[in-house]
Structure 1
């Protein structure tokens, strides 16, 4: 499945010793793709540092949820605190990496992931501050929407979450880095050609000297 491809590749971005926030949606699924020996502290802005894998029906604790409302477990050394402390950690740039979803992301690193005009949205939540204050922003999303339109654009058209914040994008088709020169194609998915990825992408892609596969 394409989502498994994204998550398996994204798990390689998480390193021992990091403090990482996993955004609502696809990114929260990433915790179940991390090797059990990976020593990482997962942060959730509702007040947890040290989230573990999603809980089963038997192990679910009604008081232990992530920012998306999913029942989770905690790892040894986990800490619990209120939202004020949690957002203080974000605002002081204590997170090494935030993994977020996207409706749109463009070749300048602008991110739109909270609002589609005309559709209900509960609000921007913690996404704006995470996008602005985290050292590195990793975006996970499908390369195209359900209508076949590229989510990787020359310029975002939806309301922005934050400007020029994205570091790397991983889709079911490609891995791309945001650079000063533009969007650099680093890897493509097995079974695809570079031409297919370029054709499926609205943004202008810079082709690296060596383009890997995943």
Structure 2
């Protein structure tokens, strides 16, 4: 089920920000890493402040919590970072937030558009399967599917996919920098201290 239509435990924005802040403590004086994390944090906060749709806001909060938990877990168990990052990208709570001017590339409309795109493509394929059995039915299904498939595919290619690629590039850079910082020979702060003082976020 797409993330915007899932019912999950509500998450406090304050508790999420606490996780991110605690993660940043580990990277004291490592300004490149702190700047990338802070930019990502600001992107989430900006979209939450601009969002007036309750479903979109809940989706943003879930993704924000996913990011915060992934980040703090990378700090706690740096050797598991490849698995943690992979799970982050494949989570049902993941959505693309960031990009140029931190534009939020995944909205409720994107979610609906994706479902329509998949449904219309399925109908498009079905129209050819039905052709030997009923030409009129096949033509009706073909015409209807194309009328939906073409605009939804155009929107996905022009709007959604390019924005998602930008966000993915930013996040790859962020996690790469975090990995470099965690791999440094002289960490500034103690992972154990952060782990003991960090609250758990449910969701």
TM-score bracket, shorter-length normalisation: under 0.3
TM, length-normalised to structure 1: 0.22
Looking at secondary structure, tell me which structure has more strand per residue. Answer: 1
TM, length-normalised to structure 2: 0.23
Q: If you compute each CA radius of gyration, which structure gives the higher value, 1 or 2?
A: 2
Looking at secondary structure, tell me which structure has more helix per residue. Answer: 2
